[in-house]
Amino acid sequence: MKNQFERVCMVGLGYIGLPTAAVMASRGLKVIGLDVNPHVVETLNKGKIHIVEPGLDALVHGTVADGFLRATVTPESADAFLIAVPTPFMGDGHEPDLSYIESSARNIAPVLKAGNLVILESTSPVGATEKLSRWLAEARPDLTFPHQVGEAADVNVAHCPERVLPGRVLHELVDNDRVIGGMTPKCAERGAALYKNFVEGECIVTNARTAEMAKLTENAFRDVNIAFANELSLICDRLGIDVWELIGLANRHPRVNILKPGPGVGGHCIAVDPWFIVDSAPDLAKLIHTARDVNDGKPHYVIDQVRSAVKSVSGMPVIACLGLAFKPDIDDLRESPAMEIAADLALAKMGRLLVVEPHVTELPKALVGLPGVEWVTDAEIAIKQADVVLLLVDHRVFSQVDRACLEGKTVIDTRGMWR
Ligand code: SAJ
């Protein structure tokens, strides 16, 4: 049978859109990447990439060379449109900003045709897919949409949230199950038919609101569980108990599985998505809100630990600050608690701050020029000079540090790596 989706347009070529476009193209779909950034478009059309993700370089190079993937800044017609654009916060608050989704909708609306499928992949608050349908309808009064006429709509609209883990994106795009929430059952079924072109996991259909909430729930679940571990770490410090030993013991119970405490929760998903739930039901989402506060409070606690440690140092204290990424073995510094801690320690002028991050090549701009900050490329060199050693990220390379270097130092191991 002829595939109903021969030409697919991926709107937004970022951390999710670009790998998804490349995977679809590698499965024989003709994929057009649409992005507002001409640099991103030019880079892709040269077969190159502007983000770091294992295996993506080769996949993009191959699919562009074979003619299955290309990019443009000008919308073109297609059988299906997938939207993967950012959904940040509005201003300084926690209200979701859907303006990128709205502008994507208005951008593709002129090229829409009856029979098209539009899928929202961006992590979104409940109700965003309905809004997308309305924005499309406003721009194309000559077509019908599911919020107006249900199953009779000319254009189908669905939500299929991305759920891939940075660093494993190309595997997870294919292997993970996908939740496909249609504005009507037909919208969901058509969405599933599209994803089955490249997903080997199950494609499970539901309605759009449930799919939106499912994605937020997954990340809020993880945030709440990390908050539990972080709260335990504070309680254990006060009671003189090793939290890592405690969690190891409790996890021997067959139905207990506590996550790991750390210096806070970073990245652009787990520290963000739970707020979308809180924003939609502030009077009810008490636990989810508190978890956010617990996790956001952890960097301040770590800073206080360093403040106490430097008090016993005579002369100018030297602090080795190991790791800046938001999690191990990646170069991603966005929303990283380690970055926040390093910057705040510098601004508090606690001493010389020897910063080590093996996954980036130079001192990040946000730390350049801050008082006492020095870039050191080797962890052991920094440790040897330090009075206080602050381990912020459990990068594999730090596990190989010679423990003898740590003798006589005050060690603050926020990840429990050197126990
Ligand atoms: N963290 C801890 N303790 C833990 C686990 C994680 O402190 O036990 C911290 C990490 O250090 C990091 C943060 O949490 O700062 C988030 O890291 P992560 O590896 O848990 O998750 P992300 O943000 O890289 O990716 C998550 C994933 N969601 C879930 O695991 C439920 C991924 O599947 C989603 O696709 C992604 O969010 C997203 O895009 O929403």
Q: Compute, in angstroms, the gap from residue 270 CA to the centroid of ligand 1.
A: 6
CA 219/CA 222 separation, integer angstroms:
5
Residue 194 has pLDDT above 70, yes or no: yes
Query: 1 pLDDT band (50/70/90 cuts)?
Result: low
Q: Compute, in angstroms, the gap from residue 314 CA to the centroid of ligand 1.
A: 39
- E strand segments, 15-171: 30-34, 69-72, 80-83, 117-120, 156-159
One domain, residues 121 and 262: no
Mutate to test the pocket of ligand 1, among 87, 216, 265 (most ligand atoms within 8 A of CB): 265
Q: Does residue 349 lie in a domain region?
A: yes
Q: Does residue 170 lie in a domain region?
A: yes
Q: What is the pLDDT of residue 307?
A: 97
Query: 202 pLDDT band (50/70/90 cuts)?
Result: very high
CA 332/CA 404 separation, integer angstroms:
30
Q: How many structural domains are present in the chain?
A: 2
Nearest-atom number in ligand 1 for the CA of 222 is 31
Rounding to the nearest 10 degrees, give the CA dihedral for residues 10, 15, 16, 22: 60
Q: Compute, in angstroms, the gap from residue 148 CA to the centroid of ligand 1.
A: 38
Give catalytic status of residue 365 as yes or no.
no
Rounding to the nearest 10 degrees, give the CA dihedral for residues 360, 361, 365, 369: 120
Of all residues in the chain, the percent with pLDDT exceeding 90 is: 95
Q: Does residue 301 lie in a domain region?
A: yes
How many other C-beta atoms can be found within 10 angstroms of the C-beta atom of residue 211?
Answer: 26
Q: Compute, in angstroms, the gap from residue 267 CA to the centroid of ligand 1.
A: 7
Q: Does residue 164 lie in a domain region?
A: yes
Q: Does residue 187 lie in a domain region?
A: yes
Closest Cα to atom 25, ligand 1: which residue?
165
One domain, residues 152 and 43: yes
Relative to beta strand 156-159, strand 178-182 is antiparallel
| Cα–Cα–Cα angle for 205, 207, 209, rounded to 5 degrees | 135
One domain, residues 250 and 201: no
Q: Could you read off the pLDDT of 345-398 as tens digits, one per residue?
A: 999 999 999 999 999 999 999 999 999 999 999 999 999 999 999 999 999 999
Nearest-atom number in ligand 1 for the CA of 328 is 11
One domain, residues 307 and 408: yes
Closest Cα to atom 14, ligand 1: which residue?
265
Residues with CB under 6 A from ligand 1: 123, 162-166, 218-219, 222, 226, 259-260, 262, 265-267, 269-270, 326-327
One domain, residues 41 and 165: yes
- E strand segments, 62-126: 69-72, 80-83, 117-120
Q: Does residue 261 lie in a domain region?
A: yes
Q: What is the pLDDT of residue 92?
A: 85
Tell me the residue range of the domain where 295 lies: 222-413
CA 125/CA 109 separation, integer angstroms:
22
Q: Does residue 50 lie in a domain region?
A: yes
- Per the structure block, which two tokens stand in for 7? 């030409």
- The CATH code of the domain that includes 243 is 3.40.50.720
Q: What is the pLDDT of residue 401?
A: 96
Give catalytic status of residue 9 as yes or no.
no
One domain, residues 59 and 201: yes
Catalytic residue among 160, 215, 298, 327: 215
- E strand segments, 141-278: 156-159, 178-182, 203-207
Residue 52 has pLDDT above 90, yes or no: no
One domain, residues 197 and 238: no
Question: Which residues, other chains included, contact 375 with Cβ-Cβ below 8 Å and sequence gap of 6+?
Answer: 355, 362, 363
Q: Does residue 190 lie in a domain region?
A: yes
- E strand segments, 121-277: 156-159, 178-182, 203-207
Please name which of 319, 335, 347 lies closest in space to residue 412, comparing C-alpha atoms: 319
Nearest-atom number in ligand 1 for the CA of 123 is 40
One domain, residues 250 and 395: yes
- The whole-angstrom distance between residue 356's C-alpha and the CA centroid of its chain comes to 23
Query: 2 pLDDT band (50/70/90 cuts)?
Result: low
Mutate to test the pocket of ligand 1, among 52, 219, 288, 391 (most ligand atoms within 8 A of CB): 219
- Please count the CA atoms within 13 angstroms of the CA of 114 that sit on its side-chain side: 8
Q: What is the pLDDT of residue 419?
A: 87
Taking a C-beta distance cutoff of 8 angstroms, is the pair 288, 357 a contact? no
Of 182, 210, 238, the residue at which a domain comes to its end is: 210
Residue 331 has pLDDT above 90, yes or no: no
Phi then psi dihedrals of residue 395, to 5 deg:
-60, 140
Q: Compute, in angstroms, the gap from residue 334 CA to the centroid of ligand 1.
A: 13
Q: Could you read off the pLDDT of 107-158 as tens digits, one per residue?
A: 999 999 999 999 999 999 999 999 999 999 999 999 999 999 999 999 999 9
